[in-house]
Amino acid sequence: MRTDALTPLAGRRLLVGVSGSIAAVKTPLLVSALVKAGAEVRCVVTPSAAQLVSPVALASLSRHRCYLEADGWDRCCSRPLHIELAEWAELVVLAPLSASSLSRWSQGSADGLLASVLLACECPVLAAAAMNTAMWHHPAVRDNWKRVQGFPGVVPLDPTAGLLACDRQGDGRMADPLLVELAASSLFSRGTDAAEAERDWQGRRLLVTAGPTVEPLDAARSLTNRSSGAMGVLLAQAAQLRGAQVDLVHGPLQVPPAWLEALHCHPIHTAAELEAALQHLQPEADAVAMAAAVADLRRVDPAPALKQPKAQLMQRLAHGWQLVPDLLTGVSARRRQGQVVLGFAALTGDDATLRRLGEDKRRQKGCDLLLANPIDRAGQGFSQPRNGGWLLAESGAVALPVTSKLHLAHQLLDALQGLWRPVPTSC
């Protein structure tokens, strides 16, 4: 099997549990994505799920037999199947998790193969719930969902809002398969050999900026940059999966729309809009990560409502510009006690130059941490899946070797977490 050596799922053993929600029709897409990412995938399908999705299709996509309820006590097996599968898996992915399977799991029932696997497994469980809106909001279901989140190693993916198969508009859609794949990748990107499910950002709020800003020149033209926004989005999702409440303020992005699910998104275009969003959201944040690539210049006068003739373009480009205020400096100056700020600096040059320029910027801007990352090296930076650089703080500089942006996101979250300054309590 050809795989991308960079993917954190390469060679990992994933058990996909499929229960009886109509969202099961999306599971083949998920299984296919996980296999393409290099994971070894096996599937367990409940009787009701087998009425909705073909076990033969899942077996074909996973390159393994699909386990059904009747296989649970196969007389040819020397050990109970649910024990074999539970011990084999490095991560269990429940996609979808129906109300019935959620109820069994929350109450500790071993009624069925999948239910028994969930009781026997000791690895993390990534749970993507899916059901009708009324069912999702029923007090019993909410209690069950809250209860399983207290189990060790459980990472929840709440259903999203949209048009459901029952024609109802509301919460209940299973998280997009691309987001489930990203979540699985995130659990294997914490820097340990095993999947890491600790929700150590629980109770914290993170404010992240991502993507470029866009300054209009006229109705057709604009000043912007090559930022895809992937670093900021992955930082936001990594934090969300670790339990944080996340606000993402972003310009135009070049990432899968599914990566924005579960985040509180605040789309902007100009630096002025970004500044306004920061002033509104910063007071509630425990940490701020300024990953957006803000344009350095903007027009003094408002952009014309019409496209300017080409003959007038040179004149317009030559005059009437002003510097965009340094937003990171403003965020650092406004931060409340206990709030930590991470800045980013896209730089060029060798490592010594990066460290020197980055440290100058960190001191000038007043942030707690600053990632100085090169954009003139092949295979990293803008529009690339990998990044690295120097993480600068008052205590010194730490080299962060080139790695996946998802792994880098977790490294940055760990660094922010190490800087929490407790707010003194008054007597």
Q: Which residues are catalytic?
A: 166
Nearest to 381 by CA among 352, 356, 402: 402
Sheet containing strand 13-18, strands side by side: 66-67, 40-45, 13-18, 91-97, 125-129, 154-157
Are 58 and 45 in contact by the 8 Å Cβ rule? The answer is yes
Residues 6+ positions from 127 with CB-CB distance below 8 Å: 94, 97, 148, 154, 155, 156, 157
Q: Both ends of the chain: CA-CA distance in Å?
A: 64
Query: Six-digit token pair at 208?
Result: 């992240």
Q: In whole angstroms, what is the distance from residue 262 CA to residue 317 CA?
A: 41
Nearest to 120 by CA among 128, 110, 112: 110
Give the total residue count for the chain. 427
Q: Residue 160 — φ and ψ, nearest 5°?
A: -105, 170
Which residue type occupies 383?
S
Are 130 and 53 in contact by the 8 Å Cβ rule? The answer is no
